Amino acid sequence: MTDSNVNRFGLSSMSDVLLPKTVKGLEFLLSVSLHKRIWLPSCPLKDYLKTMFTNRKEMAELLEALIINNDTTTLPSFPQGIDLLWGENDLFFSVEFAKDLQRKLGEMTSMESIKNGGHLVQLDRPFVYNKLLNKFLASVH
């Protein structure tokens, strides 16, 4: 997700999106991560928040350390094949970003764009995702 997306949603930072503090924040994270809209009762969402985000300060520090400037990044060379499975409706990283990443990773990289899939494409379209993953895995053996 780019800074412009974060600003468009009225938030100040990536950690506001990725490290929710409230059930509403978690619902928002799910809504931008998935193409399909899902509804869950607030009770399991509260439990999820309590379980997964107890070390919020450390997670925020780790998130800040992971944010890098794309202009100065050099990717390593990988000898093995890489398959990028990308949701067409990913709000975190666009399909154009995926194509650019594919180009930077080199000839051994393939990319499949999955229709009606968001950032968590394996949850949005599990059968399509698994079919493409199995196809790639079969091609490397």
| Cα 29–chain centre separation | 11
List the one residue out of 112, 44, 16 whose CA is nearest residue 121.
Answer: 112
Q: Where are the domains of the chain?
A: 3-66, 76-139
With beta carbons less than 8 A apart as the criterion, state whether 32 and 120 touch. no
How far apart (Å, rounded) are the C-alpha atoms in residues 24 and 8? 17
Name the nearest CA neighbour of 132 among 114, 106, 115, 116: 114
pLDDT of residue 17: 85
Q: Mind listing the pLDDT tens digit for each residue in 17-42?
A: 889 999 999 999 999 999 988 888 99
pLDDT (0 to 100) of residue 13: 77
Q: Of 73 and 49, which is predicted with more confidence?
A: 49
Distance CA 87, CA 119 (A): 6
H-run or E-run covering 110: strand 109-114
What is the rounded average pLDDT of the residues 60-87? 81
Choice between 98 and 77, residue whose per-residue pLDDT is larger: 98
Task: Look at residue 70 in the predicted model and tell me its pLDDT.
Answer: 60
To 10 degrees, what angle do helices 42-52 and 23-33 make? 90
Alpha-carbon distance of 41 to 30, in angstroms, equals 13
pLDDT attached to residue 14: 79
Averaged pLDDT score across all residues of the chain = 88
pLDDT tens per residue, range 120-140:
999 999 999 999 999 999 998
Which element (helix H / strand E) includes 51?
helix 42-52
